[in-house]
Amino acid sequence: MSREIKTILVLGSGGTMGNGIVHVAAVAGYQVRGYDVKQEFVDRGIATIRKNLERGLKRETITPEEIDLTMARISGFTDLKEAAQGVDFVIEAVFENIELKINLFQELDEVLGDDVIIASNTSTISISLLGGGSNRGDRFIGMHFFNPPPMMKLIEVIVGLQTSDETLSITKEISEKMGKEVIVAKDSPGFIVNRILLPLLNEAVFALQDGVGTVEDIDKGIKLGLGHPMGPFTLLDLIGLDTALHVSEAFYKAFQDSKYRVPHLLRNMVHAGKLGRKSGEGFYKY
Ligand SMILES: NC(=O)c1ccc[n+]([C@@H]2O[C@H](COP(=O)([O-])OP(=O)(O)OC[C@H]3O[C@@H](n4cnc5c(N)ncnc54)[C@H](O)[C@@H]3O)[C@@H](O)[C@H]2O)c1
C-alpha cells in the first residue's frame, strides 16, 4: 500500500449501515469520525455501537477495557468541514438517493485532501455515475457492506469505469483489516449478490401467487433443501417489502429483462402497507 490509512470518515453514521461501519472500523483499530445531519442521529449511532459492543461482555468475546478503547477511537460531527479534518479514507452510507449523494460528494471535494478515496456503500446506484459526480472518479469505489456490518463477513467491492488500481488495492486492504472477505464486482446493476438474490426472492413470491406452496413450506424448502440460513419470505420481511420492490423495479428498468419482473403480490402488499418486520406484518405477523 502506498500510504497508511489511519483515519476513516463515515457519512450517515447514525443510520443502520453507518453505525455498523463505524463499529467495524473502530474495532479494526482505525480512528473513526462519524458524520450525520443532526446531533441526535450522531449520538444515536454512537449509543447503538456501545450497546452492540456490550453484547460481547456476556459471551466474554470483549472486555470492558477493550470497549472503552474502541469507543475512544470514535468521534461524531454534524459539520462536514470539521468532520473531514485529517481524514485518509471516506465511507458513504447516507440515504439511497443519487442527487443527495452527489451533492454531498461535491461539498466534500472542497474540504477533502486530494489523495483521499471515497467509497460508497450504495446497493443499487452505479459507481461510475457517483464517481463522475464526485470530481474524483479515479479515487472513487463501491464498498458494499451487508447488514448488520459487524456480523456479516462479506464486503463486495465495486470497481467503476474510472476507479484506479491503487484505489482498489487500498480498499481491499482496509476491508481485510476489518476482518472481512472481499469479492470484486464490475459496475453493473445489483453487482454480484443482489443481482442473483432478487430473482430468487421474486420467484418465491411468484410461487406463492401461483399457489405452489404456502409461505411456511416455501421458506422451509429453501432453508432445508438448499441450506440457506433463512427462507425467502423471512428474508423479504427483514429487508422490507418496499425496499425489495424498489430494487426489483430498478433492476427491471436497467436490464430490460423479464427475469427481473415484479410479482403483483409483492406490489399489492406494499400498497396495503404490509412492509415486513418494520410495519409489524409482511409475509409473517410480528
Ligand atoms: N439497510 C441495508 O440492508 C443496506 C445494505 C447494504 C447497503 N445499504 C446502503 O447503505 C446506504 C444507507 O442505507 P441505510 O439502510 O443505512 O439507511 P438509513 O436510513 O438507516 O441511514 C441513512 C443515514 O444517512 C443520514 N443522512 C441522510 N442524508 C445525509 C447527509 N446529507 N449527510 C449525512 N448524513 C445523511 C440519515 O440521517 C441516516 O442516519 C444506502 O445507500 C443503502 O442502499 C443498505
Are 176 and 200 in a shared domain?
Answer: no
Torsion of CA 113, 115, 116, 122, to 10 degrees: 130
Atom of ligand 1 nearest to the CA of 38: 37
Query: Are the C-beta atoms of residues 17 and 119 closer than 8 Å to each other?
Result: no
Active site residue 82: no
CATH of residue 227's domain is: 1.10.1040.10
Task: Looking at the structure, tell me whether residues 157 and 203 fall in a common domain.
Answer: no
Domain boundary among 144, 163, 186: 186
C-alpha cell, 222: 429453501
If asked whether residues 11 and 109 sit together in one domain, one would say: yes
- Phi then psi for residue 117, to 5 deg, are -90, 140
Looking at the structure, tell me whether residues 46 and 168 fall in a common domain: yes
Domain boundary among 135, 157, 186: 186
Q: What is the CATH number of the domain that holds 153?
A: 3.40.50.720
Q: Are residues 164 and 250 in the same domain?
A: no
- Considering the domain architecture, whether residues 177 and 258 belong to the same structural domain is answered as no
**Ligand 1: which atom is nearest the Cα of residue 145?**
6
Q: Which domain holds residue 245?
A: 193-278
Domain count, the chain: 2
By DSSP bridging, strand 140-145 and strand 154-159 are antiparallel
Q: Which atom of ligand 1 is nearest to the CA of 124?
A: 43
Helix (H/G/I), strand (E/B), else coil: 78: coil
Let me know if residue 79 belongs to a domain.
Answer: yes
Any catalytic annotation for residue 156? yes
Strands (E), the chain: 7-11, 31-35, 74-77, 89-92, 117-120, 140-145, 154-159, 181-186
The three-state secondary structure class of 9 is strand
Q: Verify that 175 and 241 share a domain, yes or no.
A: no
Specify whether 170 is located in the same domain as 254. Answer: no
Residue showing cell 406463492: 208
pLDDT tens-digit series, residues 127-161? 999 999 999 999 999 999 999 999 999 999 999 99
Residue 136, in any domain of the structure: yes
Q: In this structure, are residues 126 and 141 in contact, taking their beta carbons and an 8 Å threshold?
A: no
Catalytic residue status for 123: yes
Using most ligand atoms within 8 A of CB, pick from 16, 21, 97 the residue to mutate for ligand 1.
Answer: 16
Q: Is residue 98 part of a domain?
A: yes
Catalytic residue among 13, 123, 126, 202: 123
- Maximum pairwise Cα distance, the chain: 58
Is there a contact between 194 and 169 (Cβ–Cβ < 8 Å)? Answer: no
Which pLDDT belongs to residue 232?
98
Cα 210 to averaged position of ligand 1 atoms, centre (Å):
35
pLDDT recorded at residue 1:
47
What's the CA-to-centroid distance between 18 and ligand 1, angstroms? Answer: 7
> Is residue 239 in some structural domain?
yes
Please give the chain's pLDDT, 286 residues, in tens: 457 999 999 999 999 999 999 999 999 999 999 999 999 999 999 999 999 999 999 999 999 999 999 999 999 999 999 999 999 999 999 999 999 999 999 999 999 999 999 999 999 999 999 999 999 999 999 999 999 999 999 999 999 999 999 999 999 999 999 999 999 999 999 999 999 999 999 999 999 999 999 999 999 999 999 999 999 999 999 999 999 999 999 999 999 998 899 999 999 999 999 999 999 999 999 9
What kind and span of H or E run contains 286?
A: none
Is 34 found in the same domain as 128?
A: yes
Q: End of a domain among 186, 215, 245?
A: 186
State which of 79, 123, 238 you would mutate to test the pocket of ligand 1, scoring each by most atoms of that ligand within 8 A of its C-beta: 123
Ligand 1: list residues with CB < 6 Å: 11-12, 14-18, 35-37, 41, 93-96, 100, 104, 121-123, 144-145, 147
Size of the chain in residues: 286
89/226 same-domain check: no
What local confidence, expressed as pLDDT, does residue 2 receive?
57
Place of cell 450504495: 122
> Is 1 part of a structural domain of the chain?
no
Report pLDDT for 3.
75
Verify that 104 and 18 share a domain, yes or no.
yes
Q: Would 285 be classed as within a structural domain?
A: no
The Cα–Cα gap between 84 and 112 comes to 6
194 part of the active site: yes
Q: Are residues 197 and 268 in the same domain?
A: yes
